[in-house]
């Protein structure tokens, strides 16, 4: 059994669902030269709802695999971005 506080995490994260602008600009600055991910397989650890993975795919990655400890975030990512492969960490 994991000691990760999933319920508290999911509760806190639920208010951020759909608010991709909060983190996306930071990631865009970090990946300003999108050549870093072009035609690469990318692992998005702590993928949340998958918004960053979508940005990475849209900028040329061949595949993005997202993992998150929250079942709710993974389910939301699956529903919203079916093209992303998502999974839950244990």
Q: Given a cut of 60, is residue 63 above it in pLDDT?
A: yes
Give the chain's domains with CATH numbers. 37-90 (3.40.50.150)
Lowest mean pLDDT, pick from 6-15, 26-35, 41-50, 69-78: 6-15
Q: Are 49 and 21 in contact (CB under 8 A)?
A: no
DSSP per-residue string spanning 4-61: S-HHHHHHHHHTTTT-THHHHHHHHHHTSSGGGTTT-EEEEET-TTSHHHHHHHHTT-
59 near 24, Cβ under 8 Å?
Answer: no
Q: What per-residue confidence (pLDDT) applies to 75? A: 86
């Amino acid at each position: 059994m994991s000691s990760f506080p999933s319920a508290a995490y999911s509760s806190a994260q639920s208010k951020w669902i759909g608010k991709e602008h909060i983190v996306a600009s930071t990631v865009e600055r970090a990946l300003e030269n999108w050549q870093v991910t072009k035609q690469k397989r990318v692992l998005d650890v702590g993928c949340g709802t998958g918004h960053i993975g979508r940005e990475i795919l849209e900028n040329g990655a061949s595949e993005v695999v997202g993992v998150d400890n929250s079942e709710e975030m993974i389910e939301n990512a699956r529903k919203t971005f079916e093209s992303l492969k998502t999974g839950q960490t244990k």
